[in-house]
Amino acid sequence: MDLRELLDAAKAAALEAGEALRGRGEAFQGVAASQGRDIKLNADKAAEKIILPRLRAAANYPILSEEAGWTAAKAGRYWVVDPLDGSANYNRRIPLCCVSIALVEDDKAILGVINHFDVEDLYAGAVGHSAEMNGARLRVSGVHDTGQAILMTGLPVYRDFSDDALAAFARDFARWKKVRMIGSAALSIAFVASGKADRYAEDSIMFWDVAAGCAIAEAAGGRATLSAGPMDEAKTVCVDNGALP
Instruction: Round to whole Å and give the CA distance between 234 and 153.
Output: 15
Q: Into which CATH architecture does domain 3-137 fall?
A: 2-Layer Sandwich (3.30)
pLDDT tens-place string over residues 1-43? 899 999 999 999 999 999 999 999 999 999 999 988 889 999 9
99 within 8 A of 88, measured Cβ to Cβ: no
Q: Would the pLDDT of 105 be above 80? A: yes
Q: Which residue from 120, 110, 104, 85 is spatially nearest to 15, judged by alpha carbons? A: 120
Write down the architecture of domain 146-240 according to CATH. Answer: 3-Layer(aba) Sandwich (3.40)
State the pLDDT at residue 169.
87
> Is the pLDDT reported for residue 61 higher than 80?
yes
Residue 158 has pLDDT above 80, yes or no: no
For the chain, domain boundaries: 3-137, 146-240
Looking at the chain, the whole-number percentage of residues with pLDDT higher than 90 is 93
- Within 42-109, residue ranges assigned H as helices are 42-58, 87-91
Compute the distance between CA of residue 218 and CA of residue 179 in angstroms, rounded to an integer. Answer: 22
Q: How far apart are CA 42 and CA 76, in angstroms?
A: 31
Please give the average per-residue pLDDT across 229-238, as a whole number: 95
The whole-number pLDDT of residue 216 equals 99
- Give the model's pLDDT for residue 45: 97
Predicted local distance difference test score (pLDDT) of residue 220: 98
What is the rounded average pLDDT for all residues in the chain? 96
List CB contacts of 114: < 8 A, sequence separation 6 or more: 14, 98, 99, 100, 101, 122, 123, 124, 186, 187, 189, 190, 212, 213, 216
pLDDT (tens digit per residue) in 66-77: 999 999 999 999
Average pLDDT of the segment spanning 50-65: 98
The CB density around residue 37, as the number of other CB atoms within 10 Å, is 12
pLDDT, tens only, 160-189: 889 998 898 889 999 999 999 999 999 999
Do the domains 3-137 and 146-240 sit in the same CATH topology, yes or no? Answer: no
How much is the CA Rg of the chain, to the nearest whole Å? 17
- Region 50-75: mean pLDDT is 97
**What does the pLDDT read at residue 76?**
97
pLDDT digits (tens, 9 = 90+) for 191-215: 999 999 999 999 999 999 999 999 9
CA distance 76 to 118: 34
> Is 37 or 243 the better-scoring residue by pLDDT?
243
Q: Is the pLDDT score of 151 beyond 90?
A: yes
User: Mean of the pLDDT values across residues 220-226?
Assistant: 98
Average pLDDT over residues 222-241: 96
> How far apart are alpha carbons 187 and 173 in whole angstroms?
20
Predicted pLDDT of residue 161: 85
